[in-house]
Amino acid sequence: MRVLSGMQPSGAAHLGNYLGALRPWVDSQSPDAFYCVVDLHALTLDMSPADLRRQTVELLATMIASGLDPELCTVFVQSQVPYHAQLSWLLECVATYGELTRMVAFKEKSQRSQGYRVGLLTYPVLMAADILLYETECVPVGDDQRQHLELSRNIAERFNARYGETFRVPKGIQPVVAARVMDLQDPQRKMSKSLASPLGTIYLTDEPADLERKVKRAVTDTDGSVRLDWEKKPGVSNLLEIFAGLSGERPDAVAQRYSSYGDLKRDLAALLIETLSPIRRRYYELMTDPEELNLIATEGARRACAVAGDVYDRAARAVGIA
């Protein structure tokens, strides 16, 4: 099954990115899977050119360190495949202003800044181009992207109706039910790249001592019983969900084994150290070898271009510019 997904190079990857995106990507990797660092999307954010360049390389290294095998699937950087920006323009002339202004992510982000960039409005059209260029069937992303996926389908159907069968309409999109990883210090809030919470965020590159300290200090409650109850015990529930996400168990099964927060935290820290240490080591190893990362990106872009080029040409002919 053809799979495509992308992540913005908007900062150091954390445990939420790993459990909600990177690990499901690794689980569905195959020669038919495409994963990209969407650096063009990140231009909608306020970021210096140096940061964008550095974070793009860092995310590429993180994706590979997390287990994506560039021999097995295609890992690439969006801007190195020119068809994304090119198809995006063709699709902008199919999408309507009304449907773009209805996007919840746009409404939220545009409210936060005066004189926001037009790219914030057209962002989901570029995302539709990412998806349609690869004749994608399945897009593993979190629930927050559901509306954008629906828009991609609508744009594809409208294009096909207007210009003739051109795109495969991404069908049966099953957004991964992202383990929603919450901030360890504020379990009502999602662990996030943008809101700095030094003790509440677990980064994939955290050292064992950091992991132990963060888990030990994680907010719980005074009730003392280990059970899953998001309403009354969000902190403990978050720790159980994280544990279960890492071990592949059910959170209530994990809860049954523990009678104290201390034991749960001790074992969770050990599990995090065991899971993240190889990722951290591989990440730093890759970061010392920019040549190797460059080669991986170049080969990924070559393979991506071979697929995307054909689809783009078909779309260009359909609208009458080729």
Q: Of these, 22, 63, 81, 127, which contacts ligand TRP (CB under 6 A)?
A: 127
Residue (148 or 280) nearer to ligand TRP, CB = 148
Q: Which is nearer to ligand AMP, 149 or 286 (CB)?
A: 149
Q: Find out whether 14 and 193 touch, Cβ atoms under 8 Å.
A: yes
- Of 67 and 175, which CB lies nearer to ligand TRP in the complex structure? 175
Nearer to ligand TRP, 73 or 218 (CB): 73
Binder of residue 193, out of ligand TRP, ligand AMP, none (CB less than 5 to 8 A by kind):
ligand AMP
* Binding of ligand TRP by 170 (CB under 6 A): no
Query: Taking the complex as a whole, how short is the minimal distance between the CB of residue 5 and ligand AMP, in angstroms?
Result: 7
Tell me if 120 sits within 8 A of 44, measured CB to CB.
yes
Contact yes or no for 133/84 (Cβ under 8 A)? yes
The binder of 41, among ligand TRP, ligand AMP, none, by C-beta within 5 to 8 A per type, is ligand TRP
Q: Does 265 participate in catalysis according to the annotation?
A: no
The site partner of 190 among ligand TRP, ligand AMP, none (C-beta below 5 to 8 Å per kind) is ligand AMP
Alpha carbon 142 to its chain centroid, in Å, reads 8
Quote the least distance from Cβ 41 to ligand TRP, whole Å.
5
Q: Could you give the CA distance from residue 200 to residue 198 in angstroms, rounded to a whole number?
A: 6
Instruction: For helices 290-319 and 49-65, give the axis angle rounded to 10 degrees.
Output: 100
193 is catalytic: yes
Both tokens of residue 106?
Answer: 């746009």
Partner that binds at residue 130, options ligand AMP, ligand TRP, none, CB closer than 5 to 8 Å by kind: ligand TRP
CA 164, CA 195: separation in Å to the nearest integer? 45
The residue from 107, 190, 214, 216 that is catalytic is 190
Contact call for residue 73 and ligand TRP (CB under 6 A): no
Please tell me the distance from the alpha carbon of residue 72 to that of residue 296, in angstroms, as a whole number: 12
190 is catalytic: yes
- Ranked by CB distance to ligand AMP, the top (closest) residue is 20
Task: Return the residue nearest ligand TRP (CB atom).
Answer: 6
| CA triple 127-128-130, angle to 5 deg | 65
- Residue 181 contact, options ligand TRP, ligand AMP, none, Cβ 5-8 Å cut-off depending on partner type: ligand AMP
| Helices (H), ranges, the chain | 15-17, 23-27, 39-42, 49-65, 83-92, 97-101, 104-112, 118-132, 146-163, 208-216, 234-247, 251-256, 261-287, 290-319
What mask, x for binding ligand TRP by CB under 6 A, covers residues 19 to 58? -------------------x--x-----------------
SS3 33: strand
Residue 293 contacts residue 286 (beta carbons within 8 Å): yes
Q: Is 4 in the site for ligand TRP (CB under 6 A)?
A: yes
> What does the radius of gyration of the chain's CA atoms come to, in whole angstroms?
21
> What's the rounded Cα separation, in Å, for the pair 33 and 274?
27
Residue 26, number of CB atoms within 10 A of its CB? 18
Min separation Cβ 299 and ligand AMP, Å: 24
- The Cα-based distances of 202 to 22, 85, 127, 182, 255 in angstroms read 15, 34, 28, 10, 21
Interaction of residue 5 with ligand TRP, rule CB under 6 A? yes
Residues near ligand AMP, by CB under 6 A: 7-8, 10, 16-17, 19-21, 141-142, 144, 178-181, 190-193
| Catalytic annotation, residues | 109, 190, 193
